[in-house]
Amino acid sequence: MVNAKFSPSLMTMDLDKFKDQITFLNKHVDSYHIDIMDGHFVPNITLSPWFIEQVKRISSVPISTHLMVTNPTQWIDQLIKIGSDYICVHAEVMNGIAYRLINQVHNANLKFGVVLNPETKIDVITPYIDLVDKITIMTVDPGFAGEKFIDNTLEKIRELRVLRNINNFGYLIEMDGSSNKNTFEKIQKAGPDIYILGRSGLFGLNESIEESWHEMLEDFNKAKSQIL
């Protein structure tokens, strides 16, 4: 089993407690996950590059931007300028521009991630899998918080681990969607490197972010003990 890294999804945080929550999480998390949605790729509109700038004012924790957009080329320059540590694009919109995007991000000394929807097979990213720094497996349908967990997505996490070991690839494996006490055990069995935590797994557990964090760790470690 891999050592877990945690990445809170900031679209599910309590924005009226923005500074207090970020200040606490800065001491505990491995990265922040920031969703940008355009209302076209998914039927929702969420965070923005401006939001990333506000986080960076009070945090040095790495930021991973998840672009749920139809036209990622419209966003890359701005995210590079801001300095998003990871820029992650859906495989479903990368056909014909994949190498250009990857090179553009790497030339800026930033890291490139690719995201796969639940229905998208790993074969789609085979041509450039050796070039990406992170692969995110959506374990729910994208676009909204609170979606139902899709169990068969975990097989892609297992497959990515095997491919990485056989080929000595360098990508991290991340899961995104409904990571909480009800799913921790089966997710851990699949073995991603990074767990994205949303409202059901972190921010909605308690009024206090400190209490929520400790409750999440207790749930996570309890699930881990069931496997060991």
Write out the catalytic residue numbers: 35, 176
**In the block, which residue shows the tokens 């972010």?**
209
**Amino acid occupying residue 121:** K
Q: How far apart are CA 119 and CA 116, in angstroms?
A: 8
Residues in the chain: 228
Give the pairing type, strands 5-8 and 32-37. Answer: unpaired
C-alpha distance across the termini of the chain, in Å: 9
CB atoms within 10 A of CB 82: 16
Q: How far apart are CA 1 and CA 20, in angstroms?
A: 33
Q: How far apart are CA 92 and CA 83, in angstroms?
A: 24
Look up residue 77 and give its two tokens.
């320059």
Q: How far apart are CA 156 and CA 43, in angstroms?
A: 25
Alpha helices in 35-170 (DSSP H): 49-58, 73-82, 98-107, 154-167
